[in-house]
Structure 1
Amino acid sequence: MTGLNKGLRFIVLFLVCFTIATYGWFILGGAKKEYIVAPTNSTYKIIDDSGQNGASTTKLNIHKRNILLECNLVNKAKWPFCEIAIALTDSIDNGIDLSSYHSVGLDIDYTSPLKGERVRVYLRNFDPIYANVNDPLSLKFNAIEYSPGTDQGLQIFPLRSFQVLSWWIAENNIPVNKANRQFDNISIIEIATGSYVKEAYYAIKLNRLVFYGDWITESALVKLLLLLWVTTAVVVIFVERFLLNKKIKTSEAHSQHLRDANRLLYNKSLKFEYLACTDPLTRIRNRHTVTEWLEEIIIQTRANNIPFSMIFIDLDYFKSVNDTYGHNFGDEVLIKFTTTVETLIRRSDVFVRWGGEEFVIFCPETNMKNTVEIAERIRETIMMKKWEFDKDFHLTCSLGIAELVDETSEDLIKRADLALLKAKKMGRNRTEISWEHHLK
């Protein structure tokens, strides 16, 4: 999480710096744009009342720094006038989109016989819904009138102050949805003398004509910056969730790996425990595993005054079996012997390989009489057993029995061992009982 927090802090710092820099750039005018109308990008011509059989005379002088229209208006036509017509493009149906501009700057010096007389400024827009390329009057008249005077410098007018001429709307039967001002396809700009003129000398000098706009509005910039923040937040949340899910999956995989490893270790420990407690050849208990159990069972037996006996078993002449048939054969005999004995004893009896060919059976809650019966059953079964791996092979065993009295486990085992030794001395293949200290 530390790395993520560090990355998140960097992203937030970057967004803050970017937002401040971008908004500062906007405030300082970095988003402003201008479209300057000049002889290099437009064409100038005169329009006057000659088309109405007027007698006015006009002259147009185009200079690098200004455009000068001089008119001697004669009161012959119904509406005497003269104007500068500025074509922004070569075709009236393919004008300039000025809808992204908010203001127009006009620097005009106007000479007229009346002080404060106005000039008319038209931004002519083409729209195929109402305009016809063969009829210049069909282009929409977005108009303002103002008194420029002389040497007044640049005057700036919002484009929203332009109005569509009512006579043009009525004459062309313009629908309501197209009657508003429109600047998306301006092909001609006209600067004309006022509405009411008299016979006199007039001069219109255009010093500067420029449109002002912004590459992006303040509200749009704020929306974009807000969108940037929101998008970044969504991306960060998505990435954080992705990394978190990945970390969770990695952690789960690691935990599963640890669980599997622990399970494997546990199974191995069980196996090792089993191997440590089990004789590897016969798969019965070994003598080391019963020491603690034997001490506990003897204490319980003596405390509850219940019988407890044991049988010590030795396979007769087993060394000669190994010498005659080999150790592999001897191992097979031990395995089959163990399997056979397990079928003859009870579930409560504890069968232990004591070492080599010696075995012990501990018989809880069993007196001497019942223990002798178990021992004799084992001896007779082994003596009569037909060994499937060698039909001619015969095996016998000697057994010594002792029942617990007021003694330790070592004394009990020692007495059973002495009884076994006696059985071997008496000719083997027999069961002997240790009567020493036994209470009849």
Structure 2
Amino acid sequence: AIFTGMGMSQHTCGVDNVQNEINLALITGNLGRPGTGVNPLRGQNNVQGTCDVGAMPNVLPGYQLVDDDEARESVEDVWGFEVPAEPGLTNVEISHAIGDTVHGLYVMGENPIMSEPDGNRTEQRFREDLDFMVVQDIFMTETAELADVVLPATTWAERDGTVTNTDRRVQRMRGVHKVHENTRHDFDILCEVGTRLFDGDEFDFDGPEDVFEELREVCPIMHGMTYDALGETGLHWPCYEEGDEGDPFLYEEEFETEDGLGRIEGVVHQEPKETPDEEYPLVLTTARLEEHYNTGTMSRRSPTLSKQHPENFVDVHPNDAERYGIEDGDDVTLKSRRGEITVRADVTEDIKEGVVWTTPHFAAASANRLTNDVLDERAKIPEYKAAAAEIEVDIEAAGDDSPASADD
């Protein structure tokens, strides 16, 4: 089996990278049986489930393309309104369109001020060009601080529903039913907002199971699932009819192509869109720490986790450190064409010479102040993993990033 992290796709050639993994699986026969396939280890909880139900801008529930007239009409019959036939925008494309075609945002469980690339420009657009923004989240994030309206929500552990693992297993979530004061479940918030926005009873659901029943009507790969059938262990999609046990792995007999065969597609190597030069001679790459999660909204509020890594840092190879006059533990300024952050230098052979490595977890010095917002032409994923950078030394130390100011 091939297991891959999110960094594989976070390049302007991300689709080609994934295609090569598919090519490798096809050529070596690693598919159609247990222990095979290409398995992306998702970046956040329930990313798989979110994609499954149609949260991506180019698909309907069950990965039905929005430009498929038949699929779109079948969904419209259930939803009762006309679905646009053109794909929508991705996160970064929405950010780029602020002030042009985007004038208001409803942000749920996302902290784009820290998570989007070219964070300084992103924050400028949010501050200056948005007419109105609602943020629905569990903590007061950096993005929520800029909102006109904040809707305090409950955490995953407090609410009922389903999640889907990266192996396509749909599982029941049973909340602890201990809800903090002045917070509400996402389900209740969205139903009330929907009821106020639209006439009729379109948002008159009895609970999460009632929503799941509607999902079954519009999502063929989950049509055979019921809450009772999910039970304690869940079911894998596709599960087309009630009584189906689901498929723990795909493509045992054939692929979903006209002739049933897989497609090997050749790709051409592409350099990152921004490569080292005289002004910015280093390659900057980014990644996550084991102790922290995304932009730190939750993990930096944990004293135990923050004790392990209380502030951001940059890994520097010993040869680069010697050339720049950097000692282990020095505070340095890490710069790109888009911004700069002050971080502690960790001199280590764990990083390749000519490459520096830092994280997006800390608000006081987030890597995404430096990253490039150029996109893969097809998947529209930004190039978080490669940018040209430079280091400056002999600067004043930055203040610690305390857990109390954390965000996601």
TM range (shorter): under 0.3
TM-score by length of 2: 0.19
Higher relative contact order (CA 8 A, sep 6+): 2
TM-score by length of 1: 0.18
More strand, by proportion:
1
